[in-house]
Amino acid sequence: MSWFVLAGLSGVLVLAFLVALQRRMDLAKMRGTVERREVAREQGAAKAELQHPVVDLSRCLGCGTCVAACPEEGVLELVHGQAAVVRGARCIGAGACERECPVDAITVTLSDTDERRDIPALTAELEAVGTPGLFLAGEVTAHALIKTAIDHGVAVASEVATRLNGDAGKDPEAYDLCIVGAGPAGLAASLEAKRRGLTYVTIDQEERPGGTVARYPRRKLVTSQPIDMPLYGRFRQTSYTKEELVSLWHGIAEEQQLAIHGGQTFLGVDTGVDGRFTVRTDKGEIAARNVCLALGRRGAPRKLGIPGEDQPHVSYSLLDARSYAARKAVVIGGGDSAVEAAVALAEQEGTEVVLSYRRAAFFRIKAVNERRLNEALSQGRLRLAMESTATAVHGKTIDLAWPDGRAERVSADDVFILAGGIAPLEVLESSGVSFDPELRKSADPVLEQGTGLVKALGAALILTMLVLAFAAYNIDYYGLERFERPAHPKHETLRPGRGTGLLLGIAAIGLVAVNLLYLVRRAPRFAARFSGYPIGSLRGWMTSHVATGILAFLLAMLHAAMAPRNTVGSHAMWALLVLLITGAIGRYLYAWVPRAANGRELEIDEVKGQLATLSGDWDAQHHAFGAEARARIARLVEERQWSSTFRGRVAGAMSGSRDLRVAVSELRASGKRQGLSPAQIAGVLDLARRAHRTATHAAHLEDVRAILGTWRYAHRWVAALMVALALMHIGHALFYGQLFDSPGPESFTLTQAPR
């Protein structure tokens, strides 16, 4: 007995230690995520320039599917068991998180659409507002994905064909459609126009199709999504380098003999009184009934406006770094293009590279580029000149200057200015495209939708009432005692092993199997393997998971003839009921607690923002106190939310929050010494108290979340138990039913197999 007790105690202590260790690791990871989010917010990297995700905390379950589905690292992470946007600037608008979320809790949307004047005003058909027949497609619409550009091109050509409605090709003096740009959108529009029988022409400033993609650096990975092209079908791969994709596009264009005319610079579009358009290029004019502007957003490269910038060794793009081996290069810029170019140059034998960026940190680059940059820095192949500004380019040197007055003349055989591009807004506006926010349809606001409890309860109620109606209809059988039922006429139909009763049991098992397929569909490995196949949205699978679980239990009750016994089958049914209960807790209660905790995180951010605004209004001599107050409040949050233990927080609450009193006293004394007014001191102290209270609440909610998290494990283990019991029930029934099935009421058939 002593050995048994000792072994049991050891097991419990080991388990408790592992749980505590895992809990500490989770908190450390979460703390790092919150800190990264705060840094991203300070750097301006919390939101993307174009599209970014928005999370509905009232629905988010914290399953992490969106984090796993996102093709970019660091955009989304889990905070308090819910998805949170950390570095929104890395979002490329793929929408994988939105598609994969099983509870419709995340939306990818454009930011600040009510104020921005660089997003065109378009209808749902991608037509410029106020200029019928003028369409836009691709990156110029503020959507950056290659797949989206292709979808746009197909949609525009399809819309033109629909509007012409059999009238295609009947104007001998004008094309049905003129497409400007032979990138992915223009190429897709050309293919769809040919497929739909339109007369069309496509022009591009480059000699061959490819658009912006063709100007990407060598071997750059440009797509990671399934792509379908008209007249070609689905691309065989889901990932392509620049060279592979452009080569494929060239092959498609040649095979389909597309009417693409390169080497023509687009100058603008004029609208005639007869409704026709005149597309102006440096090679002449083109008459068209409809026009699709499939231009990129970059337009002309952004110049620095410094002396010597127009010299031959100054470039605004890098196509192949191999030709710059054993040279000295300076790259100017802080985006992905600049970092990719600098790293590619640094990989060449004997090349010395300096990367100059005007800010103190890179905040918009992708995680993979950040890793490559850090690797190049650690190997000494690259030198950073952060917070530097180029002031002049000379024959073989470039001058860099820093805000503190420092200056350096850097040797440079080649200078690459990769500071982005200037969107072709002027030529678009002169062509009839408006960027007026008043004309642009505002993005639908992302509102909290609630947990969906009413809908779920309503669906469960309907299913239950249907089963209850069936049971009530057969109350003459189900109302009898078990020993009275064999004599009833419905016994052969409703008993567990024959007729409808057996079919109900088989249906219940089938529903359980379908229910468990949700776990397979949710697995990242499955999603990656079947990417692009019509396997249904995870949201639909989640709905099926809930519905099949409820219906399986109800059918199992009917299979047991509304009189379950102390058998393996009945135990499986009760395990299924427990599974429903734990699932409901995980779906609703466990979703509410993380939401409340994340609400406290947002409140802490609000306090910090208010303190920054408050101290920003003070004069110069009081800025030191503002910095001290921010640091003290940050330490309060640190001590209460991340560093304290559960026991310490309980003790602190009972002792009246001694650390808060100390902080308030120190801040009051410091404020008086520095000459702040009583009102200013009171404002800071109020913020300190609010920060302490909020951080404490967040920590307590995190404790509750940790406790409730055990329900998830209960849900999983009960599911495993239920499956094991169900399999035992099926095997037992089949075994005895096959071996002992013989005529007569006393035979031990599947009907009498133990449940």
* Residue 623 shares a structural domain with residue 683: yes
- pLDDT value at residue 580: 86
755 belongs to a structural domain: no
Main-chain phi, psi angles of 358, to 5 degrees: -80, -10
Q: CB-side exposure of 716: number of CA atoms within 13 Å?
A: 5
* Residue 276 shares a structural domain with residue 325: no
pLDDT in tens, 228-276: 889 888 887 777 777 788 888 888 999 999 999 988 889 999 987 777 8
The three-state secondary structure class of 178 is strand
Indicate whether 748 pLDDT > 50: no
- pLDDT value at residue 443: 61
Average pLDDT of the segment spanning 86-99 = 81
pLDDT in tens, 525-580: 665 555 555 566 677 777 788 888 889 999 999 999 898 888 888 999 999 998 88
* Residue 155 shares a structural domain with residue 52: no
DSSP letter, residue 175: B
* Residue 237 shares a structural domain with residue 384: no
C-alpha 254: how far from chain center: 37
DSSP letter, residue 444: P
* Residue 383 shares a structural domain with residue 240: no
Q: Which domain holds residue 342?
A: 303-419
Indicate whether 751 pLDDT > 70: no
CA separation for the pair 605, 690 (Å, rounded): 11
* Residue 104 shares a structural domain with residue 175: no
CA separation for the pair 672, 670 (Å, rounded): 5
Q: In terms of DSSP H, where are the helices of 617-675?
A: 623-637, 646-654, 658-673
For the chain, what percent of residues have pLDDT higher than 70?
86
123 belongs to a structural domain: no
* Residue 412 shares a structural domain with residue 310: yes
Which CATH number does the domain housing residue 383 bear? 3.50.50.60
∠ at Cα 368 (366, 374), nearest 5°?
Answer: 105
* Residue 491 shares a structural domain with residue 640: no
* Residue 201 shares a structural domain with residue 341: no
One-character DSSP codes across 95-146: -HHHHH-TTS-EEEEESSTTT-SSS--B-TTSBBTT-TTEEE-GGGGT---H
The three-state secondary structure class of 399 is strand
- pLDDT value at residue 193: 93
Task: State how many domains the chain has.
Answer: 5
DSSP letter, residue 602: H
281 belongs to a structural domain: yes
H or E element, residue 546:
helix 538-559
Q: Is the pTM of this model over 0.75?
A: no
* Residue 143 shares a structural domain with residue 227: yes
260 belongs to a structural domain: yes
- pLDDT value at residue 535: 64
Which two three-digit tokens encode residue 510?
A: 């089938």
* Residue 315 shares a structural domain with residue 462: no
579 belongs to a structural domain: yes
Across 282-286, 609-613, 643-647, least confident range: 643-647
Beta carbons within 10 angstroms of residue 237's beta carbon: 13
Indicate whether 45 pLDDT > 70: yes
116 belongs to a structural domain: no
Which CATH number does the domain housing residue 105 bear? 3.30.70.20
Position with higher pLDDT, 397 vs 220: 397
The per-residue pLDDT of the chain, averaged, comes to: 81
Indicate whether 498 pLDDT > 90: no
* Residue 44 shares a structural domain with residue 174: no
Indicate whether 87 pLDDT > 60: yes
Q: Which residue has the tokens 């010494």?
A: 673
- pLDDT value at residue 742: 40
pLDDT in tens, 424-483: 888 888 888 988 887 777 666 666 666 666 676 777 888 889 989 999 999 999 999 888
- pLDDT value at residue 563: 87
33 belongs to a structural domain: yes
174 belongs to a structural domain: yes
Average pLDDT of the segment spanning 497-502 = 87
Position with higher pLDDT, 754 vs 236: 236
